[in-house]
A = this chain, B = another copy of it.
Amino acid sequence: MAPDPGPATAATARRLAPRSRRGHRTRAALVAAARTVFERDGFLDARIADIAKEAGVAAGSFYTYFDSKEEIFRAVVEEVQEDMLHPRLRERLGDDDPLALIDAANRDYLLSYKRNARLMALFEQVAQIDDEFRELRRKRGAAFVRRNAKMIRRLQESGRADPDLDPLIAARALSGMVGRIAYSVYNLGERIPFERLVTTLNQLWANALKLDQTP
């Protein structure tokens, strides 16, 4: 399974939210432009002026809605949050078959990672630079890990998973495994066919937890 992005961080908008319709349009244009520019140039090389130009507004207008590059980046990230929330997953949480659950989680995570690969790389980059985003990333990972740890613990309790494993560390390790390989494949360009990747990750999870040996 994979990192849980957690609930969308409430945008503590430092600047006022737009009140007019025109304001909404401008703000939205800026956020869209920022995503384009960030994905094209990376966070560091993206200039405020470029974002404004891409949005078709004057440079100064940027500051009507955002205080800094970090702030608009947060807005961009928030826009993508929903897509990363794996809504289908929740429905299956009641599912009794751990293998099906693992498959769904891995599949969902990899698909949504693929859809937003460029942005995920950006997020990684910014997390290396900015404490706020590092913390944000940590929180997402932690939520993920918590959920997986809970699942492992439940499986151990019902005698379906290796009882010797430390459930929290295992959850961390296995979540990290999926997150890392997604990064390698969709951002560094390592070529692994999708089905093959999902299948292997499922096997590794199942084996690691000894799911099939303790019926």
Contact = CB atoms under 8 A, between A and B. Distances in A.
Interface string A138-169: 10010000000000000000000010111001
A9 interface: no
A165 B208 contact: no
Contact of A210 (B129, B176, B190, B207): B207
A188 interface: yes
B172 A181 contact: yes
Q: How many copies does the complex hold?
A: 4
Nearest to A165: B203
A8 interface: no
Nearest to A199: B166
B204 A138 contact: no
Q: Interface range on chain A: under 10, 10 to 19, 20 to 34, or 35 or more?
A: 35 or more
Given A138-B188, A188-B138, A170 B124 contact: no
Contact of A177 (B174, B197, B199): B174
Given A177-B180, A207-B208, A210-B207, A172 B190 contact: yes
Contact of A176 (B125, B129, B181, B208): B181
The main secondary structure of chain A at its interface with chain B is helix
A68 interface: no
A100 interface: no
A85 B142 CA distance: 31
Interface in A172-194: 172-174, 176-181, 184, 188, 190, 192
Contacts of A124: 128
A69 interface: no
A134 interface: yes
Contact of A180 (B166, B180, B192, B204): B180
B204 A208 contact: yes
